[in-house]
Amino acid sequence: MAATRRWIFLSCCIVCLLSACQLSQAQNRTFEIDYLGNTFVKDGKAFRYVSGSIHYMRVPKEYWRDRLEKMYAAGLDAIQFYIPWNYHEPEIGQYNFEGQRDFVQFIKLAQEVGLLVLIRAGPYICGEWEFGGFPAWLLKENPKMVLRKMDPTYIKYVDTWMDKLLPMLTPLMYENGGPILMVQIENEYGSYFACDHDYMAHLFIKARQILGPRSIIYTTDGDLQSNFQCGPTPGAYATTDFGIENEYGSFYTCDHDYMAHLRDKAREHLGPRALLYTTDGSGDGFLKCGTVPGAYVTVDFGSSYENIDQAFAKFMRAHKCYDLIPTSAKLVIFDTQLNVKKAFFALVYNGVRAAPLWDTSKQDYVGMLTITDFINILHKYYKSPLIKMEELENHKIQTWSEELKDKQRPFVCIEPDANLYQAIKTLITSKVHRLPVVDRVSGNALYVLTHKRILRFLYIYINELPKPGYMRQSLEELSIGTYENLVKATPKTPIIKALNMFVDHHISALPICDADGRVINIYAKFDVINLAAEKTYNDLDITIEQALQHKTQESWFEGVVTCKKNDTLEVVIEKIVKAEVHRLIVVDDEQRMFGVVSLSDILNYLILKPFGDFVSKKS
């Protein structure tokens, strides 16, 4: 009994410590407005956000995360959305916050993705939503009711709704550990005929009482001066819909003569050939006033891309594995009872380099048959050209797997709806070159992802994305690639020795150098499968030079592609993608080998490093 009491006491202490820690973290989170400094302040630092609208009620729940990730990758760091009253209380007193209507889950998903949230709580909303979000039963309760005023019947039901809605938002406010920065009351009330200041004040007080004294409540109105006579209310942060035409000069000074004066003054001091540019906000409206003839224009993408190094990683997080699955693709699957020799011949015949393995007895995928397996078999059982490899001739895949358990890796796969960032991280951390996309619900293997296919996908869109500064830096400056303990071969190196080097050094390719150390070719793991294609695997004493001379149109020899250490990353990516190779050999001016840059090296730096997931060579 004493031990039980001690355990209960210890558990309570742990819970208290955790609660205190969580409370401390929440107390350190603040979001305020510095009116004198004309800035938002988040956690004590000046802050701005770039927000976009998304309607959870119009996006199928299954696509919520996908759409949020796409918004994040597009450069937004916040979202805003309405909460329609009639969507959650279709009948008086009957609330529905389940499934598609579970906006709390939507908010939590946004936080998981990395987005902040602005809530437009109503009770009146816009968004082209039926009846401004008001439930139709309001009219039935009192046909003479005046909406959006301190009408007793109307306010009675508004208070009931707000007492239900706002407590659901309170724990999700930023200062409480959630992603919600601000909550809007009403919507463009300054455009409504009623102009009831008591009504707006009532909504503000209600929101503050429930959401907390530090919560920021805001109003949004149109861009006419008249809109601000009725829309704002004391204590609430007043915002405006950005307009460019209607009474623009009343709010903003659009002075082209002023811009021209600045241009001429700059030219006077810097010279007539000085390159001038203006940087402005985003959108067509800014460009009408922020530009001036004779100066270049740049557009501010907002705070989400202040860390522009993450642009490519965000792009990958916004795309799913199924985005890479072509409409028509060949996928070969082998049963573990298949003869090993036939399996490798089938790889050659079907023009694929790896295949998922299906174990009928387990009714599941258990691994991948790859070229590395072929190399390991040859490495283990080859004796001489005079001795036939019975193991290759007679073994089944399952027998081979059991004999070399120490070299077999666990089966690694990924779901089709996982994002490409996860796929890249899995490929690199698992040290695999092939990642099957498997739908675990149906059990179907859909596709096999590779480093090459993923980088090629990024390359298609790379010019449409913000370009990080490191793209203009050299390989040497960025330290991308391998430059120590390099392994290489000569044209006279026997194939069996090359296979031993693949296995012993865990490498995927051997640069071939002449007597002066100049790179003249390359022999990769992928080239070994040609031994099966040409049925020459019984004579591994031939040299690499002889093996390369035997290549046919069906042979898979990538060939050697080189780059220089002072080539920029941008140039290297273009070269490796267009050449459709798995690596570039870094050479000096004399074509002597200096290092190797692989697809894995590039993706590791481009995608994983900006988010702190970089995988070092030693790990």
Question: What is the DSSP pairing of strand 116-120 with strand 237-240?
Answer: unpaired
For residue 6, tell me if it sits in a domain.
no
What is the number of other CB atoms lying within 10 angstroms of the CB of residue 220? 23
Q: Does the pLDDT of residue 527 top 60, yes or no?
A: yes
Each residue's pLDDT tens digit, 203-240: 999 999 999 999 999 999 876 777 788 889 988 988 88
Q: Does the pLDDT of residue 255 top 80, yes or no?
A: no
Lowest mean pLDDT among 146-160, 439-453, 571-585, 599-613: 439-453
Q: How far apart are CA 136 and CA 359, in angstroms?
A: 59
Q: Final residue of a domain: which of 455, 487, 510?
A: 455
Q: How far apart are CA 35 and CA 22, in angstroms?
A: 30
What pLDDT is stored for residue 288 in this prediction? Answer: 46
For residue 99, tell me if it sits in a domain.
yes
Secondary structure of 240-299 in the HEC alphabet? ECCCCCCCHHHHCCCCHHHHHHHHHHHHHHHCCCCCCEEEECCCHHHHHHHCCCCCEEEE
Both 218 and 260 in one domain: the answer is no
What is the number of other CB atoms lying within 10 angstroms of the CB of residue 380? 16
Question: What is the DSSP pairing of strand 237-240 with strand 216-221?
Answer: parallel
Both 225 and 113 in one domain: the answer is yes
Q: Does the pLDDT of residue 73 top 80, yes or no?
A: yes
What pLDDT is stored for residue 305 in this prediction? Answer: 44
Each residue's pLDDT tens digit, 297-335: 444 444 444 478 888 998 898 888 988 887 656 788 989
Amino acid at site 498: A
Question: For 322-434, where are the E strands, in sequence order?
Answer: 334-335, 354-359, 364-370
What pLDDT is stored for residue 299 in this prediction? Answer: 40
3-state secondary structure of 419: strand
For residue 32, tell me if it sits in a domain.
no
Both 445 and 496 in one domain: the answer is no
Both 100 and 231 in one domain: the answer is yes
Closest CA to 325 of 410, 423, 459, 443: 423
Both 566 and 471 in one domain: the answer is yes
Please report, for the domain that includes residue 166, its CATH number: 3.20.20.80
Both 444 and 482 in one domain: the answer is no
For residue 539, tell me if it sits in a domain.
yes
Both 491 and 389 in one domain: the answer is no
Both 74 and 167 in one domain: the answer is yes
For residue 34, tell me if it sits in a domain.
no
Tokens encoding 380: 């283990």
**Mean of pLDDT over the chain:** 82
What pLDDT is stored for residue 297 in this prediction? Answer: 42
Given pLDDT bands bounded at 50, 70 and 90, which one contains residue 34?
A: confident
Both 110 and 160 in one domain: the answer is yes
For residue 66, tell me if it sits in a domain.
yes
Which domain does 275 fall in, by range? 253-306
Residue range 285-304: mean pLDDT, rounded: 45
Q: Final residue of a domain: which of 221, 246, 271?
A: 246
Domain count, the chain: 4
Lowest mean pLDDT among 47-51, 296-300, 520-524: 296-300
Both 209 and 258 in one domain: the answer is no
Q: Final residue of a domain: which of 455, 484, 502?
A: 455
For residue 175, tell me if it sits in a domain.
yes
Each residue's pLDDT tens digit, 104-150: 999 999 999 999 999 999 999 998 899 999 999 998 888 888 999 99
For residue 41, tell me if it sits in a domain.
no
Both 425 and 574 in one domain: the answer is no
Burial 325-338 (b: 16+ CB within 10 A, else e): eeeeeebbebebeb
Residue range 181-190: mean pLDDT, rounded: 94
Please report, for the domain that includes residue 405, its CATH number: 3.10.580.10
Both 220 and 163 in one domain: the answer is yes
Each residue's pLDDT tens digit, 152-171: 999 999 999 999 999 999 99
